[in-house]
Amino acid sequence: MEQKILIVDDEPHIRMLIEQTLEELEDDGVEFLTAENGEIALQIIQKEKPQLVFLDVMMPKMNGMEVCRKVKKELQLTDVFIVLLTAKGQELDRQKGNEVGADIYMTKPFDPEAILSKAKQVLGLQ
Amino acid sequence: MARVTLKNILSKKSNVSPLVLSFIEQMNAHISVEDENGILLCGNTDILAANKHPININDETIGWVKGDEKSIHVAYLLTLLAQREFERKTLGSEVLVLYQEVNMVFDFSDKLAQAIGPVAISQLAVDEAMRLIHSDSGLVVLWDEASMQLQIPATAGAPLFDQEKITSHADLLLRIGLSGQSEIMSDLSSLRDEGIIGPDVHSLIYSALKVKHRIMGAIILAGNKQMQYAASDLKFLTTLALQSSSAIESALLHEKNLKEAREREEAMRRVYEITAKFVPYEFIGSLGHNIITDVKLGDQVEKVVTVLFTDIRDYTSISEQMTPEENFRFVNAYNERMGPIIRKYDGFINQYLGDAIMALFPESAESTLSAAIEMQQNIHEFNISRKVKQLPPIKMGIGMHTGPLIMGITGDKDRLDATTISDAVNTASRIESLTKYYKVRILLSEITLQQIQHPEIFHLRYLGKVQVKGKQSSIGIHECFSSDSEDQIIKKEKTLPAFNEGMYHYLNKSFQNAVKAFEAITAINPADLTTQFFLDNSRHFLKNGTPDNWSGVVEMANK
């Protein structure tokens, strides 16, 4: 089955940066999908069923927490591994992240190496 | 950065792939596209390869277009698309590098925030710099303003300087440490020749640690191989130095503040220790304060306490035989024996008055009496040691009374004094002076006796009533003979019924009966001087009669 990673952030440069960070996974046939807000993200998740989602918390329309809750709790898509991205200094979100069912939680500015190794681990590409 | 490949451009996932295929079809071109290894990516193998055009990015061939004369147009389009992809990736990777730097700076700030003290921060700075900018050795130099010397709080990797040479060639460190600049030093041959730096050091980079215009020192890195530091390294080191500077500055300030606070605290503690010897902590505590410096004029507290007075009998005649220095030593020896006993029974010394002590017992009258007994026993031991030195024994009277007392701070704003204002103090002092009159060691008022929960554990005798001059009411007083010798205690207890009978007759002016009772006691215990005193009085009144207003109440003289 083709592996897919969805990158959700309202800031274009963050989307580009994450994609760039994960670029080498393209050689393993991984497909990248992007979304600029929570609503689009939710549609893509339902349609494409990505294995891994990098999900920004602070977004217009539907925030990352809500997307995560819908995916994990309402749609019961427990196979989708969700990494919540939150700004440094907002670590209190961790508690809430656990409540909405996020698998892990990373802070921005993110460590590119940490993001890459996490993606490899989740997709079983190590 | 991942390579740009034709395979990716022409893959069905690529958004430009349909455009390329449609372009080839529209042109009706008979071509094939191969990658640099000759693997077919699109088109057919059986076409006539009359033309062969390379697709190059930066002089590197990533594939070929073969086929008819239209293949040149396809090659041109693919080159353009590959170039665009290459630029996109280059830009992306550059942004990523910048982002990684941002992340490192963030990380460094995080670690800085957790490091405590200038040494730890310096170490962190040099360790991080070594990690991020490939180097073989590194150190931090700081100018210590207090000692006016350069210090090296942190080093990492191989030794950068020859330890012995650097002290004799401090000018290099001084030049770097106090320059306030950031620089890459590429020509190190003279330093190597002089032996100041190791023979392997080939490149050196440093950045100033400074806050505003104040130069604090520098962070220095060095590389051993034939490597050269780049401008980007200098930029990075400067960023680290800038962040470290303010952290070191605040750590130094904090250390300075801490040191000053400790010194102040130490000074306060010494003041407190000294003052606690003059003014008892219990006194300050009962004013509701923790330390002497909190005490202010007008502070006061009212409390029922037992006041205890001691006095050395005939001290004047004892002291006449001593030099002033001997006098002083004697009083100190005496006070050093009494003080601990008073404190042991939760009392505190309010005043030393030469050979007299005034102590307050806020807790219980029982402990006051226990203290008095132990004090008398101690004097007995004191006399044994005095006897060895062929010194005369001393006698001490103790009087006590219980009543409300105001302790407070009086004086003016420049000279404060701890004062007690109480009737109980006067009364206790006068009761003490009666010990001479009744020839007893310890006297307590009936008010004090009433406060004692278990009077049966003490040996007591009622001695009638006394009156403070100028006051209407009189109070009963009691002798405590618990500190007498065992023999005396047994005899006084045995004769206690007779003594009480004698006192009863004495106070009722029945002196004949009183004389009879007291004589019976002195026959058994001639050493009972108190009984002797009442016997003498009874005989006197029997012979001479009593004054008209005599009621048995003894008037206490003013002190």
- Residues of chain A in contact with residue B1, where contact means CB-CB under 8 angstroms, are 23
Residue A6 clears pLDDT 80, i.e. is over it? yes
Same domain, B20 and B123: no
- Cross-chain Cβ contact B100/A112 below 8 Å: yes
The C-alpha atoms of residue A47 and residue A83 are separated, in whole angstroms, by 19
CATH value at residue B170: 3.30.450.40
Q: Is residue B273 part of a domain?
A: no
- Cross-chain Cβ contact A109/B89 below 8 Å: no
A66, A38 Cβ separation under 8 angstroms: yes
Give the mean pLDDT of B186-208: 82
Q: From start to end of B214-272, where are the E strands?
A: 214-223
| Identity of the amino acid at B428 | A
Query: For the whole model, what pTM was predicted?
Result: 0.50
Q: Which domain holds residue B207?
A: 116-257
The confidence score (pLDDT) of residue B76 equals 92
User: Over the stretch B277-308, which tens digit does the pLDDT of each residue have?
Assistant: 555 666 667 666 666 666 666 677 777 889 99
Q: Is residue B237 part of a domain?
A: yes
Q: In what order do the strands lie in the sheet with B214-223?
A: B149-157, B137-144, B214-223, B203-211, B183-185
Name the residue among B2, B13, B103 with its Cβ closest to that of A24.
Answer: B2
The C-alpha atoms of residue A68 and residue A86 are separated, in whole angstroms, by 13
Residue B346 clears pLDDT 90, i.e. is over it? no
Residue B129 clears pLDDT 70, i.e. is over it? yes
Q: Is residue B104 part of a domain?
A: no
Cβ contacts of B269 within 8 Å, gap of 6 or more: none
Q: Is residue B432 part of a domain?
A: no
Residue B513 clears pLDDT 90, i.e. is over it? yes
Q: Which domain holds residue A35?
A: 4-123
Least confident of B193-197, B287-291, B371-375, B493-497: B287-291
The confidence score (pLDDT) of residue B424 equals 85
| Of B85, B127, B88, nearest in space to B107 by CA | B127
| Of B499, B92, B222, B502, nearest in space to A112 by CA | B92
List the Cα angle B381/B387/B391 in 5-degree steps: 115
Report how far apart, in Å, the C-alpha atoms of A122 and of each of A54, A119, B432, B492 are: 12, 5, 93, 99
The confidence score (pLDDT) of residue B80 equals 92
**Residue A101, Ramachandran bin (φ over 0: left; ψ between -120 and 50: alpha; else beta):** left
Average pLDDT over chain B, rounded to an integer:
85
Mapped onto helix, strand or coil, the DSSP state of residue B444 is strand
Measured CB to CB, residues of chain A less than 8 Å from chain B are: 13, 16-17, 19-21, 23-24, 26-27, 31, 88, 109-112
Q: Which residue has the tokens 């709790």?
A: A73
Least confident of A61-65, A71-75, B3-7, B243-247: B3-7
User: Over the stretch B78-113, which tens digit does the pLDDT of each residue have?
Assistant: 999 999 989 988 888 888 888 888 888 888 888 888
**Chain-centre distance of CA B334, in angstroms?**
36
Same domain, B443 and B399: yes
Residue B533 clears pLDDT 90, i.e. is over it? yes
The C-alpha atoms of residue B37 and residue B263 are separated, in whole angstroms, by 79
Name the residue among A21, A27, A31 with its Cβ closest to that of B96.
Answer: A21
Mapped onto helix, strand or coil, the DSSP state of residue B512 is helix
Which tokens is A105 given? Answer: 């939680």
Same domain, B478 and B353: yes
Residue B558 clears pLDDT 60, i.e. is over it? no
CATH value at residue A29: 3.40.50.2300
- Residues of chain B in contact with residue A21, where contact means CB-CB under 8 angstroms, are 96
Q: Is residue B111 part of a domain?
A: no
Q: Is residue B210 part of a domain?
A: yes
The confidence score (pLDDT) of residue B344 equals 92
The confidence score (pLDDT) of residue B296 equals 63
User: Over the stretch B32-65, which tens digit does the pLDDT of each residue have?
Assistant: 898 888 888 888 777 777 888 999 998 889 999 9
Report DSSP state, residue B197.
Answer: B
Instruction: State which H helix or E strand residue B114 sits in.
Output: helix B71-114
**What is the count of structural domains for chain B?**
4
Q: Which residue has the tokens 């205890």?
A: B308
B481, B461 Cβ separation under 8 angstroms: yes
Give the mean pLDDT of A114-124: 92
The confidence score (pLDDT) of residue B169 equals 66
- Cross-chain Cβ contact B96/A20 below 8 Å: yes
Q: Which of residues 125-184 of B touch A (CB under 8 A)?
A: none
- Cross-chain Cβ contact A111/B103 below 8 Å: yes
The C-alpha atoms of residue B472 and residue B542 are separated, in whole angstroms, by 28
Q: From start to end of B330-456, where are the E strands?
A: 348-353, 356-361, 396-412, 415-421, 442-445
Q: What are residue B187's phi and psi, to 5 degrees?
A: -95, 100
Residue B508 clears pLDDT 70, i.e. is over it? yes
Report DSSP state, residue A61.
Answer: S
Q: Is residue B53 part of a domain?
A: yes
Give the mean pLDDT of B350-364: 83
Same domain, B463 and B534: no
B119, B140 Cβ separation under 8 angstroms: no
> In chain B, pLDDT over 70 holds for what percent of residues?
90
Residue B398 clears pLDDT 70, i.e. is over it? yes
Name the residue among B89, B93, B103 with its Cβ closest to that of A110.
Answer: B103
**Chain-centre distance of CA A89, in angstroms?**
19
- Cross-chain Cβ contact A17/B93 below 8 Å: no
Packed helices B496-507 and B486-494: angle between N→C axes, nearest 10 degrees: 60
B97 touches chain A (CB under 8 A): no
Give the mean pLDDT of B133-151: 86
- Here the ipTM equals 0.74
B98 touches chain A (CB under 8 A): no
The C-alpha atoms of residue B468 and residue B98 are separated, in whole angstroms, by 96
Least confident of B173-177, B401-405, B431-435: B173-177
**What is the count of structural domains for chain A?**
1
Give the mean pLDDT of B153-173: 76
The confidence score (pLDDT) of residue A1 equals 66
User: Over the stretch B209-224, which tens digit does the pLDDT of each residue have?
Assistant: 998 878 899 999 998 8
Residue B410 clears pLDDT 80, i.e. is over it? no
Suggest the residue from A17, A20, A108, A111 to mutate for an interface test with chain B (most B CBs closer than 10 A).
A20
Query: CB under 8 Å, gap of 24 or more: what pairs does A87-94 form?
Result: A87/A57, A87/A58, A88/B106, A90/A57, A93/A57, A93/A65
The C-alpha atoms of residue A43 and residue A50 are separated, in whole angstroms, by 11
- Cross-chain Cβ contact A109/B103 below 8 Å: yes
- Per the DSSP assignment, residues forming a β-bridge with B219 are B140, B207
Same domain, B228 and B169: yes
- Residues of chain A in contact with residue B85, where contact means CB-CB under 8 angstroms, are none
The confidence score (pLDDT) of residue A52 equals 96
Give the mean pLDDT of A20-34: 88
Cβ contacts of B439 within 8 Å, gap of 6 or more: B529, B530, B532, B533
Give the mean pLDDT of B442-457: 94
Q: Which residue has the tokens 């073989």?
A: B136
Q: Is residue B450 part of a domain?
A: yes
Same domain, B465 and B494: no
Counted across chains A and B, CB pairs separated by less than 8 A come out at: 35
- Cross-chain Cβ contact B2/A27 below 8 Å: yes
Same domain, B175 and B29: no
Which of these three, B99, B125, B148, is where a domain ends? B99
> In chain A, pLDDT over 90 holds for what percent of residues?
43
The confidence score (pLDDT) of residue B293 equals 60
- Cross-chain Cβ contact A23/B13 below 8 Å: no
Query: How many CB atoms lie under 10 A from the CB of residue B49?
Result: 15
- Residues of chain B in contact with residue A13, where contact means CB-CB under 8 angstroms, are 95
B186 touches chain A (CB under 8 A): no
- Per the DSSP assignment, residues forming a β-bridge with B461 are B479
- Report which listed range, B39-48, B286-295, B365-374, B469-478, is most confident: B365-374
- The residue ranking higher by pLDDT, B453 or B279, is B453
Q: Are strands B554-556 and A52-56 parallel, antiparallel or unpaired?
A: unpaired
Same domain, B193 and B55: no
The C-alpha atoms of residue B249 and residue B121 are separated, in whole angstroms, by 10
- The residue ranking higher by pLDDT, B559 or B461, is B461
- The residue ranking higher by pLDDT, B456 or B266, is B456
Q: Which of residues 338-397 of B touch A (CB under 8 A)?
A: none
Report DSSP state, residue B4.
Answer: P
Same domain, B327 and B466: yes
Give the mean pLDDT of B228-257: 89
